Chain A
């Protein structure tokens, strides 16, 4: 059980705000932390890891990491941290990166086998691809058998294929080690695949907390399909109007009436939904 009740004044890009978080996390949970940039997600991870100071209490498995009187140092918190930019030790080989944390050769070998890094263990980090680097970083974070694994947008710098592969590796490792994990992510499919709980942050506060299904599937009422996207353009074609909307990586065209156009602003977020109809689903190659 992890109890977090912290507060901190932030001077961020969006002006001053107050980080105020009060949550409990069960042992072994995989929590996704999401929300707009500048909402305090990264600061939250840094406070948990002890890299930044904050007021309040943090208790992990009955051990107090921080209270009003004292805080134990980042070195003694037994956490794993995966950075977006990997932050591998560039002067050490892949294997040395792991052994620097903990001289447990058996554990390193086991991690290499799980992530298929065995062949790369003598390489220097700068000779690896982005996906390989992040796998090393993930293994390194698990080398001290952490009580808590923190990941700050670990996959956002990788392409789609690599992301899918890394997601299943993260799942494998989570099953194997059962480490309580908090991951910052913006990708709904990633969150859905990996997490069993989602926290949505806005302006330093948690505004939504639930299962990925309840938080991410934003359909309400009788709508069967609902997508959020960005309105890129409205084109007039003869007597009708066509709205061009970006949803994820795809562009779609939607016919809109003259009345609807009046309520739409280009570059704003829009929601496309439809009610009764029967979609057909076929497997894509």
Chain B
């Protein structure tokens, strides 16, 4: 019998992470695309770290920072009564670190690809940076925007190592699809593992295909043919 809970959990996690990351990455990516500061390479390197680090390293540090023994973990537990490890909240926090570059990088290159004169024309028209961001920059980089949102979502659905370390495998709380498959393989329930894996492959393909189809169409539209 197919249990849908791990999938629902995966999508809930990915959806929340994408929303939070979008709000956090927008100012960061905008700043990185516009700045000439010497700090830029350092910020870019830090942002890109999760791509190269093994998930176990990210998982270990997040556990270390969020556990009761750390100042942050104990602060949240004492004052708000919130545990920051081995629950859904901890998964969201961990995913935000893990997927950060997948949101920031496409947004940054999207912003960089927008004609600078177009942004300046907007400032000259009396519009603030915020108005320019939402009414000129973002609408003129829809493919980059789409890529950032979808790839972040898909990447979060596909994470495994960090989730396992920070969240464990609590059914209905932290047992997402990828962890569920791992467990089926461990107990040699290959039938369920096959089923879950096939569903993951199919869904991932559909998501990626829709991104590429959308971008293909947009590029055609914006190149003016």
How distant is the Cα of A83 from the Cα of B224 in the complex, in angstroms? 20
Question: Of A84-92, A205-213, A243-251, which binds chain B?
Answer: A84-92
Question: Given that A87-B115, A87-B117, A127-B224 are known contacts, is A49 also in contact with B124, CB under 8 Å in the complex?
Answer: yes
Tell me which residues across on chain A come within 8 A of B224, comparing CB atoms. Answer: 126-127
Interface residues of B in 125-150 (CB under 8 A from A): 125-128, 135-136, 139-140
Tell me which residues across on chain B come within 8 A of A87, comparing CB atoms. Answer: 115, 117-118, 120-121
Chain B contact residues: helix, strand, loop or mixed: helix
Indicate if the CB atoms of B122 and A89 lie closer than 8 Å: yes
Chain A residue with Cβ nearest B225: A126
Say whether A114 faces chain B, with CB atoms less than 8 Å apart. Answer: no
Indicate if the CB atoms of B120 and A85 lie closer than 8 Å: no
Indicate if the CB atoms of B124 and A80 lie closer than 8 Å: yes
Indicate if the CB atoms of A79 and B135 lie closer than 8 Å: no
Which bracket fits the contact residues of A? 20 to 34
Question: Given that A90-B140, A91-B136, A127-B224 are known contacts, is A144 also in contact with B118, CB under 8 Å in the complex?
Answer: no
CB distance from B36 to the nearest CB of A (A): 12
Q: Encode A132-158 as 1/0 by CB contact (under 8 A) with B.
A: 000000001001100000000000000
Question: Given that A75-B128, A127-B224 are known contacts, is A89 also in contact with B123, CB under 8 Å in the complex?
Answer: no
**Total A-B Cβ pairs within 8 A:** 59
Tell me which residues across on chain A come within 8 A of B115, comparing CB atoms. Answer: 85, 87
Say whether A51 faces chain B, with CB atoms less than 8 Å apart. Answer: yes
Tell me which residues across on chain A come within 8 A of B80, comparing CB atoms. Answer: none
How distant is the Cα of A89 from the Cα of B125 in the complex, in angstroms? 12
CB distance from A94 to the nearest CB of B (A): 14
How distant is the Cα of A75 from the Cα of B127 in the complex, in angstroms? 6
Tell me which residues across on chain A come within 8 A of B140, comparing CB atoms. Answer: 89-91
CB distance from A43 to the nearest CB of B (A): 14
Say whether B222 faces chain A, with CB atoms less than 8 Å apart. Answer: yes
Indicate if the CB atoms of A74 and B124 lie closer than 8 Å: yes
Most chain A CB inside 10 Å of its own CB: which residue of B124, B126, B128: B124
- A75's partner among B126, B222, B223 (CB-CB below 8 A) is B126
Tell me which residues across on chain A come within 8 A of B139, comparing CB atoms. Answer: 91
Tell me which residues across on chain B come within 8 A of A264, comparing CB atoms. Answer: none
Indicate if the CB atoms of B135 and A126 lie closer than 8 Å: no
Indicate if the CB atoms of B222 and A90 lie closer than 8 Å: yes
Interface residues of A in 79-120 (CB under 8 A from B): 79-81, 83, 85, 87-91, 100-102
Chain B residue with Cβ nearest A101: B125
Indicate if the CB atoms of A101 and B126 lie closer than 8 Å: yes
Indicate if the CB atoms of A81 and B136 lie closer than 8 Å: no
Interface residues of B (CB under 8 A from A): 115, 117-118, 120-128, 135-136, 139-140, 222-224
Interface residues of A (CB under 8 A from B): 49, 51, 74-81, 83, 85, 87-91, 100-102, 126-127, 140, 143-144
- Can you spell out 6 A-B residue pairs with CB atoms less than 8 angstroms apart? A75-B124, A75-B127, A87-B117, A88-B121, A126-B223, A127-B224
The 3 closest A-B CB pairs, nearest first, are A126-B224, A87-B117, A91-B139
